[in-house]
Structure formats: C-alpha cells, structure tokens
Structure 1
Amino acid sequence: MAEADRERWDYTPLERVGPLRFGMSVEEATGAMLTRGCTADAVVELGTFGPFKQLRTRFRRADAPWYHADVVTYYVGPMGLTCIAVDALSGPQVIYEGIRLVGRPPSELSDELTAHLLSTDRSVEITPGGDIGSQDLGIMPRVQRAGDVLLTRLVFGRPNDWANTMSDCVPADEMLGHY
C-alpha cells in the first residue's frame, strides 16, 4: 500500500496504538476496529499462558483479501489486549514522536530509533531478531518480506504481571517470518 494511502495512528507507549488501548476486551477492540471500516476474523484460541487463555483476532480493510491481516491483536485472560502487530505492507502507519514505525527498511528505523532512545536517556536494546527495540516504549520491530525487500512489522506490547519483558509478551506466531 502506498504510504499516502495508509491510515495514520499515534502511539502512546504502553497505553494505546491508534484506537486500540492495552487492556481492552476482545469485544471493545473489535468495536473500535469495526468503526474504522475493518472486518474481523473469528477469535482464535492460541493456547494458554499459565491459567489464562491466549486469544487472537485479525483485522483487515473491507476491500482486502480474506487471508490478509492489517492489524493482529492478542489477548491474555483478564489482562485483555496485551499485544498488537501492524502489517508492514498494508497496516496503518503508526507514528511515535515523529518517527514512522511501520513499513520501513529495518536499518532506517534502527538508526532513527537509536538516536531517539539515546537523546531521551533510554536504553538501546537488541531484539531477538537483531533489531533495535525498547522495553520502555513497548515496541519490538520484526521484519516482513516485501518481495526482495525487508520492511518493519511493528509489534507493540505491554508487559505486566504475566510477562516481564517484550520478548515474553510477544506471541510465538509473531516470532515467525511474515510475507
């Protein structure tokens, strides 16, 4: 999707990504996305995390193919919405402090994010995939293929009592490759 055609969402670390607030129920998140003209797949149970069920919902623009997901949301029991993944190719552009986070070459985002983290006295952290991320900001960039190019697919999370770090917070299927 062309950059100019992407919806623009703001990011407030550990609180919200666009219309989605961490802690929302599946029903609240689905309602927020439906008002934006998205369609939702059925809620899928991914398994359990301790005593709690882990759920997933995929959202896409109404005109997108059924197998595509622009935004994927993950929930854990009573904590509600705990993780949000935004597709590099067609998801909304998420902006934090003037930094475009989605659909960029990983090296460009790493350079800009590193400069921001250092200028705000935050730790520069290396994700399991080798990218620059931040526990303080609740972001873990992942890569997604776009033909022969890699672009950033952002995973946003809010670790809490159930997950101590962003790596703990991110569901296993987000650690896989995306196309």
Structure 2
Amino acid sequence: MSPQEATVAMEASGYTSDAVGRVGRFGPFEQLRTRFRAVGAPSYRVDVVAYYVGPMGLTCMAVDALSGPQVSFDGIRLIGRRPSELSAELCAYLEKTGRDIEITTGGDIGSHELGMNPRAQRAGDVLLTRLVFGRPNDWANTVFDCVPAEEWRVH
C-alpha cells in the first residue's frame, strides 16, 4: 500500500493525517511516515502511525495504546490492555494454533509469523499495550527490523 492508498483507507475509517513525512533511509530506499488521528481530534494527537519503505510501500503500523482504534485478532483485543494480560492470551492462542511463541525485544510475547510486536506504553501510572505491526519480506529479516528507530522511542 502506498502512502496515498493508506490515507484513502484511513479517511474512509474516520481518520485524517498530516502530510507524509520523511523518516530517513533504509539502505538505498527512503523511509516515509504518515501520522493519523481521528477526525475532530486535536492536531497534536497521533492515533496510528504508518511507515513505508521505498517501492515496498507500507511496511509497519503502530497503534497508540491510549487513543488508537481498537484492534482485535481472532477475538483477542490487542490495544490498550495490561501487557501481562495480552501476553497470557496471545501465548495461549499461539500454543493452541501450533505457532512459535516468541519474546519481543521489549520482553513481551509476540509473533513474527503474525507480524505482531506488542509494546508497553505508559498511561499515567500504568502500562498499556501499543501494538506495532510489521511486514518483513525481502528487505527485513524480522518484525523488529521493520520498525523505524523513532518508534522504539515511544514510551
């Protein structure tokens, strides 16, 4: 998906965005980013961030734990939960479906196969789940490799 296609899809779901921004380079390819927020939300709020790499298009999305849309996968609510609750439920799902249980760089349960990298995001005195979805392919070996450095700085 190109930045323009992602913007059209997000607008159809009630989100608006600023201009596409440049993040940096990944080898010979330019990395771009689009920040989305719900229509009517303050301009400083970022509910979803989409990252793109050159000709591959959309390679990574991050959904904010506090203001992002609710996302679920096979009946599992992924966004805005206590990390331990999501880890337990995701671990049980991965075991039940015969998939590998993986530990993310942040110490949470994730899945390279499903392209899910849950992260803890501070919400006042508690931590809630922010989810980073990545699409590794010929340009990246793992979900972690798909995620731009700026995303790892979100706490």
Q: State the TM bucket, normalised to the shorter chain.
A: over 0.9
Q: What is the CA distance between 1:121 and its match in structure 2? A: 0.9
Kindly, what percent of the aligned residue pairs are identical?
70
Deviations 1:99-135 (A, max 9, x none): 0000000000000000000111111111111101000
Partner of 2:60: 83
2:85 and 2:151 map into 1 onto residues whose CA distance is 21
TM-score (norm 2): 0.97
Please tell me whether the aligned partners of residues 83 and 128 of structure 2 are also in contact (alpha carbons under 8 angstroms): yes
Partner of 1:94: 71
**Unpaired runs of 5+ in structure 2?**
none
Amino acid at match of 2:92: A
Deviations 1:17-52 (A, max 9, x none): xxxxxxx00000011111222110111111110110
Partner of 2:148: 171
CA RMSD of aligned residues (A): 0.8
Amino acid at match of 1:139: M
Partner of 1:52: 29
Deviations 1:48-74 (A, max 9, x none): 101100000000012211111111000
**Unpaired runs of 5+ in structure 1?**
1-23
Partner of 2:99: 122
Partner of 1:33: 10
Please tell me whether the aligned partners of residues 82 and 159 of structure 1 are also in contact (alpha carbons under 8 angstroms): yes
Partner of 1:131: 108
**SS of 1:168 mapped into structure 2:** helix
Note the 1:4-19 alignment, pairs <5 A.
none
Deviations 1:143-176 (A, max 9, x none): 1111001000000011001101011111111111
Please tell me whether the aligned partners of residues 134 and 144 of structure 2 are also in contact (alpha carbons under 8 angstroms): no
Amino acid at match of 1:135: H
Q: How many residues align?
A: 155
Amino acid at match of 1:106: P
Please tell me whether the aligned partners of residues 143 and 177 of structure 1 are also in contact (alpha carbons under 8 angstroms): no
Does 2:137 correspond to 1:157? no
Amino acid at match of 1:150: L
- Which of 1 and 2 has higher RCO (CA within 8 Å, sep 6+)? 1
**SS of 2:71 mapped into structure 1:** strand
